[in-house]
Structure 1
Amino acid sequence: MERPPVDRPSLDALARLDGVDDSAWLDVIQKMDEVYSQLVQDEIALEEKNVQLEQSQQFIFGLLSAMSDVLVACDEACRIEETNAALCALVGRPDDALRGLPLAELLADAASGERLRAALASTGRGGASVEIDLRDAQGQPVPVDLNVTPRFNAAGQRVGHLFVGRPLGELKRAYRELREAHEALKRTQQQLLHSEKMASLGRLVAGVAHELNNPISFVLGNVHALQRYSERLREYLAALHAGSPGDEQARLRAKLRIDHLLADLPSLIEGTLEGAQRTADIVQGLKRFSAVDREERGTVDLNGVVERAIHWVRKGTAPAFAVHWSPGPPCPVTGSAGQLLQVLMNLVQNAYDAAATRPDTAPALWITLEREADRVRLRLRDNGPGIAPEHLSRIFDPFFTTKPVGKGTGLGLSISYGIVEQHGGRLTAGNHPVGGAEFVLELPGGA
């Protein structure tokens, strides 16, 4: 800012004043310049302060306008001093019409006024919550949940109250949408759990089909042989009943090999019964350890669960899998046999899949079972490449998998982790010092 020129009296004119020399007048002119310069600086600073104040006001106005919650600032007598656009829209009145208006005039009923007065009386230096009914633009009551906070000036004196709240209709709608989203998430989770169970069931069925093939084929072969034998016996008995001569009976007996047939019958019947019993045992085992059982809890021998998991994975997808496992004394735990089998099948199958990626060695798995006081610890270590450090923290995340597309759902370990937690146990993963991945399953011991 340029200063206007200052008319200064000449030194000759000043010298004409009696008793005043030139140096004194120079000091006066210098002080005048300093005062004027200070005035200019103060004016510039004041303009900067005004710009900042205007920006702050615009910022605060923008915040008030953007708020979706209603806001009312009142004095100590509960007369409205400041509002926002949300309140104006709710009650159908402009901001100018609301200023100075008692807040009580916006209430829909006397009960709301009583609740508001009780909340104001309980605020002190803190806040309070109250639910009141405001009249909307059509005069209808609208429930609003308000937070009441006292306002203080710079000296610490209370000068009024601040009311911030949201119409409960919006809260109910938001809650309904949240509940619907939660229900949809639960349905999706159930579908994913079902998909993973079906994948486990598929591996189980593959093993069952292979397991049932031998005894059923044996039974079918014996039944066909018995059918042929029955036809030959029927022909021979018909000749006997017809009273055929002795030599004709002897010729027919030799032709039909009746003696060999009678000698072979006991072994055929015994083999058929053995095959049928083997099939019944397989079905009974499948019934006990099915991955889709009714999830009933009871005492389960963990040795048996491990054996069945190894058995079904080998029969289904990994016949050449070398599993080093020696069952020890009974190790009871409390839980669901089917769910625990699903966990063990996932761990054994994952161990085989990981170990099979190494072309230089045959897939192998070492399983050990330890029992300490009231805890059971099962360790499974494979000879695969191990778990990459960046994957260790994500190994149990849903949908995380390092398998190629179409080879894994990324849900097996996540679901297994959840099942173990539901049983009061813990499932952890890491890399063994000698190489390969190691999973540790801990469960509370049973009776």
Structure 2
Amino acid sequence: MFTNIMSKNNSEDNKQIVSLPEDVEIYAGNTLLLNPTSSVNANIKVLSMESVDTDIATINNSYIIANNVGETKINTRISVKDKVYELVTNVKVIPGKLSVEPKTKKISVGETFRYRAMVSNGVYKSVSYQSTDLKIAVVKKEGIYGYVTAIAEGKVDIIVTVNIGNIISESIISLTVEAAKGHAIPISNPVNGAGFTDEDEWKGSRVFFGRYEQDNNIGNGKEPILWRVLEVKDDTVFLLSEYGLLCKFYNDTYDSVTWETSTIRAWLNKDFLDKAFLKTEIDAILDTQIKTNNNKKYGSSGGNKTIDKVFLLSNKDVNNTAYGFQKGSRIKSRTRRVQITDHALVEGYRNKENMNTCWWLRSPGISNYYAAYVLTSGNVTYGHFVGRRNDAVRPAIKVKRSCIIFGEDFNDGKYKAPIIIAREK
């Protein structure tokens, strides 16, 4: 937004038939409407508006667009009652002020913090992050953010440089890297399923994170979501919901789709994400690159790679023994069986014999009109229509370890597990 309109550009001396701001200030990257006014009740027609120096500012549909810091003039020709007036507006483009969030000055070995460069009242053209000592801390730029990871104890500066309207501004974060925190996290990788039999249950850590309606009693609020920990690796915790949280079609219509184009993917990454998590929790969930393999047996396509915060497991995932599953899609494995919540039961069903339900995978089925899913017995099938079955949805997410802390244990009556709390930025 502009900061100042100084005086008036008047025509016809004191008669003020038509006028424009004579002097304006505007922050680099912003726009300002240059709107002529008339003291008489007459239509104003703007014949032309031109900038003397388009490198500093351009004019488009009466809007000044501030490109770079500096000064220029806007020459305007206006017609009022068949008379033409020529007016000049002096434009001064000024830079916004750089700031960096968060204000963290201390970090422990092994931790990663995300920093963001911001400009007050304006925008920047580019940003870079640089560590002065790569033996102490490294920094990786992703979009507008700089992810700083502490490597060893010591002191290091993180230099943040931005281009604001062709003016280079710099901010220095002086970090102290402390010794690694001694406490162990209360979760671990699951028991490997390589030696499991059909009767072995999934065995591993569980956590509570986020909240979603589950007991179908809206009046008592949403319940904490229980997750299985599929993998703890570096700074990532891979989670799969313990229960089927809702029953939906894979796609709202019976069409040829992939994971990329399915409505279930859109629902998970918008409706479910917004309902289940607070903003700080969403920020702690990683954007994960998802590759869905083609179905080689049937020739159906897995589609393009996607970037998702929430996704479904693939057939490859539910056969990965490192995640605690028994290998073999045809095996009726207990490690893959799931039950649904009372809320999900409204649109779904339970097998009367084992009280389990079927749940969707993202992998393609016998054609792209079909999708893979796990039967109540725990084996995988590929032969059900994407738009004709309300099967269970088990969301999967990856959480950034350095963005969370583990709170006290919560007991839902069946499982006792720690609550994940997202760090405030």
Q: Specify which structure has the higher proportion of strand.
A: 2
- TM score, norm. by length of structure 2: 0.26
Q: Specify which structure has the higher proportion of helix.
A: 1
- Which has more radius of gyration? 1
